[in-house]
Structure 1
């Protein structure tokens, strides 16, 4: 299932009226099964893009489409994973993974079966009866991914899911997430401040300007092994791609 932005502008009201423009005239498409990252300065509207894809905000102008249908509110096609895992502390891990399915009225038997399958895929088999406080940060993030995948969304939105992790855990989790998402065939949009991470995990990278955010560059990552970022990490081209992104951002900064 594809995702498309067509001429999207988003403004937010302040005490003085509609005078804060987060993004302006943004147009791009994420093809079915593609992994696209969005990078840019803080406050440039990256997370606003995800919120509009999830139907939490409506564009002020333009339209957001999922599989050629206009997004008018939250929908079952999209799974949203935030920086924090937001696991419910009073539920064990399998109960957390089941939560979205339970909210949709899926019966207990199929619900448990699907949750266990996603825990297996996210390398958490054997931890289903643990509680969030008993898991490491990386394991909690994997549980959050399992929860997202359990509802079987066509599009996965990732809002800096690795930003709070230590360097070693971050590397391992990037690899685990990339493999899991590639195996699932999901269309994915990642927000990140980490330029190397964008190169390691993506098919394409969109570079946003300062607020109001608009696309100043689109970079195709022509590297193998997108499902295995650790293999990409040793390739010299990774630094070249990251440098290319950085130059776009510095040129934008000088132009302001």
Structure 2
């Protein structure tokens, strides 16, 4: 088991002195190498789930486990990729990719060798000495993925990494990301508002309710080409899965 949430509740203090429950009784498991997407209404606690996986928040009740170990603080088993690439503008691309390795004390030659390897995997060979301002948005996101992969995390957390990109770049990046992640057999948890994206990239989809978020449906995506979303996109079943997810969300909306 790569990741496990055991009946997790997370509450935050509110400005009025009361508490706000972000997620309630969240219980799910993610197997090693599985790609799972989390969808749900805005404010339902999707990002809170990622933050608890990374150890940035602690559950108010319940437990989060990574590789069988309870998460009680930031942990080195997880790589977190956000909506913005957050590349350091004063560093060239290879130095940005090396940043996490540098903080872990790896020697320069080892850092450079590992960084170059993941840059090649992310189709950025030849751009290692460019600076972030010299790259397109899609290339910057690939550089951010390379930086995440360089630390060799057991789990990759993706917080809407394609949301700011144009449609064509988004499709190409979904494809290249999926190939790299599948080749490296990385366990991945993706947050997205794009139902088609969830179907194109995932083995399984978790649907959350309105806040406080809880899992109201688990949908297994029984389709080929998880490592090539562009091929999966051509399958007629993709729209059927997206409609199934939407139906759960609409039913939940009616309940309120």
Q: TM-score, normalised by structure 1?
A: 0.99
Mapped partners of 2:36, 2:17: distance in 1: 34
Once the two structures are superposed, the pairs formed by residues 155-194 of structure 1 within 5 Å of their partners are 155-194=155-194
Mapped partners of 2:173, 2:67: distance in 1: 29
Once the two structures are superposed, the pairs formed by residues 211-230 of structure 1 within 5 Å of their partners are 211-230=211-230
Residue 137 of structure 1: CA displacement? 0.2
SS in 2 for 1:17: coil
Residue 18 of structure 1: CA displacement? 4.3
Q: TM-score, normalised by structure 2?
A: 0.99
Residue 17 of structure 1: CA displacement? 3.0
Contact 1:209 1:249 in 2 (8 A): yes
SS in 2 for 1:240: helix
Whether 2:135 is the aligned partner of 1:146: answer no
* Number of the residue aligned with 1:210: 210
Mapped partners of 1:123, 1:68: distance in 2: 34
Mapped partners of 1:240, 1:61: distance in 2: 36
Mapped partners of 2:36, 2:15: distance in 1: 35
**Residues matched between the structures, number:** 256
SS in 2 for 1:211: coil
* Number of the residue aligned with 2:254: 254
Whether 2:24 is the aligned partner of 1:44: answer no
Q: Mean alpha-carbon deviation: is it higher for 1-10 or for 81-90?
A: 1-10
Residue 247 of structure 1: CA displacement? 0.3
Residue 19 of structure 1: CA displacement? 1.7
Q: Which runs of 5+ in 2 are unaligned?
A: none
* Number of the residue aligned with 2:131: 131
* Number of the residue aligned with 2:3: 3
Residue 241 of structure 1: CA displacement? 0.1
Contact 1:102 1:111 in 2 (8 A): yes
Contact 1:22 1:48 in 2 (8 A): yes
Mapped partners of 2:164, 2:71: distance in 1: 30
Deviations 1:216-248 (A, max 9, x none): 100000001100000000000000000000000
List, as ranges, runs of 4+ consecutive aligned residues in structure 1 with deviation greater than 6 Å.
none
Contact 1:11 1:20 in 2 (8 A): yes
Mapped partners of 1:16, 1:226: distance in 2: 46
Mapped partners of 2:18, 2:117: distance in 1: 47
Q: Which runs of 5+ in 1 are unaligned?
A: none
* Number of the residue aligned with 2:13: 13
Mapped partners of 1:19, 1:72: distance in 2: 21
Alignment RMSD (CA, Å): 0.6
* Number of the residue aligned with 1:69: 69
Mapped partners of 2:103, 2:21: distance in 1: 35
* Number of the residue aligned with 1:100: 100
Mapped partners of 1:18, 1:38: distance in 2: 28
SS in 2 for 1:110: helix
Contact 1:94 1:129 in 2 (8 A): yes
